Amino acid sequence: LTIRHLEATDYLRVTAVVDDWWGGRPMRALLPRLFFEHFRATSFVIEADGELRAFLIGFRSQTDASVAYIHFVGVHPQHRAAGIGRRLYLHFFNVVQASGCNEVHCITSPANKGSIAYHQRLGFELQPGDGVVGGVPVTLHHGGEDQHRVLFRKLLR
Ligand SMILES: CC(C)(COP(=O)(O)OP(=O)(O)OC[C@H]1O[C@@H](n2cnc3c(N)ncnc32)[C@H](O)[C@@H]1OP(=O)(O)O)[C@@H](O)C(=O)NCCC(=O)NCCS
């Protein structure tokens, strides 16, 4: 499986599958076209047999050049637990580290237990927040009223 950069021409095919890949949650609005147009250097796709297998959308913080942020990662439901998510993350870590970043941040919903387990396996620390949901520390109202989020951070070495 080869990794290539995300392109603006991937917009329709990626956004067509995200709700399904997230178990029916409406995610499409969180992926406007601008991510496909302006974050190419730090966003990646894995394909096989012409089929989309996985994608990662990330970027370097414009506020703190030592920080990189992963906005979205998704793996085709029939190809999970095969190391594809890890492969994309390690690739992203290498790319942003080479440009001077030494930490990576991301967030997830406290309901997304698979994402929490995955990020912990990849070495992310759960950031202390100001609440707890389902036994997990969260930052309350982070994404709007009652939209609590788990915040992750990983230091790159
Ligand atoms: C989360 C996701 C990207 C993981 O991708 P993946 O390719 O299945 O993950 P990998 O096979 O690389 O797994 C890496 C490690 O995380 C663990 N892991 C991955 N998903 C897990 C889950 N649902 N529950 C428990 N552990 C999990 C794996 O067991 C593996 O651990 P190991 O060190 O023992 O090998 C994928 O499940 C997905 O696309 N989910 C829906 C979208 C989503 O929620 N994205 C994250 C929020 S933006």
- Distance (angstroms) between ligand 1 centre and the Cα of 100 equals 27
62-75 burial, b if ≥16 CB within 10 A, otherwise e?
Answer: eeeeebbbbbbbbb
pLDDT grade, residue 157 (50/70/90)?
A: confident
Question: Given ligand 1 and candidates 109, 112, 118, which is best to mutate, with the most ligand atoms within 8 Å of its CB?
Answer: 118
Structure tokens at 78: 């029939």
Alpha-carbon distance 150 to 142, whole Å? 9
pTM of the model: 0.97
Any ligand 1 atom below 6 A from CB of 74: yes
3-state helix, strand, coil in the chain (%, to 5): 35, 30, 35
Q: Relative to the CA of 108, which ligand 1 atom is closest?
A: 47
- Distance (angstroms) between ligand 1 centre and the Cα of 30 equals 20
Percentage with pLDDT > 70 across the chain: 100
**Residue range 41-98, pLDDT digits in tens:** 999 999 999 899 999 999 999 999 999 999 999 999 999 999 999 999 999 999 999 9
- Distance (angstroms) between ligand 1 centre and the Cα of 134 equals 19
Q: Which residue has the tokens 């994309």?
A: 88
- Tell me the pLDDT of the chain averaged across its residues: 97
Give the pLDDT confidence score for residue 14 in this predicted structure. Answer: 98
Percentage with pLDDT > 90 across the chain: 97
Question: Given ligand 1 and candidates 21, 35, 80, 104, which is best to mutate, with the most ligand atoms within 8 Å of its CB?
Answer: 80
- Distance (angstroms) between ligand 1 centre and the Cα of 8 equals 26
Any ligand 1 atom below 6 A from CB of 18: no
Q: Relative to the CA of 82, which ligand 1 atom is closest?
A: 11
Q: What angle do CA 124, 125, 130 make, to 5 degrees?
A: 135
Q: Relative to the CA of 54, which ligand 1 atom is closest?
A: 39
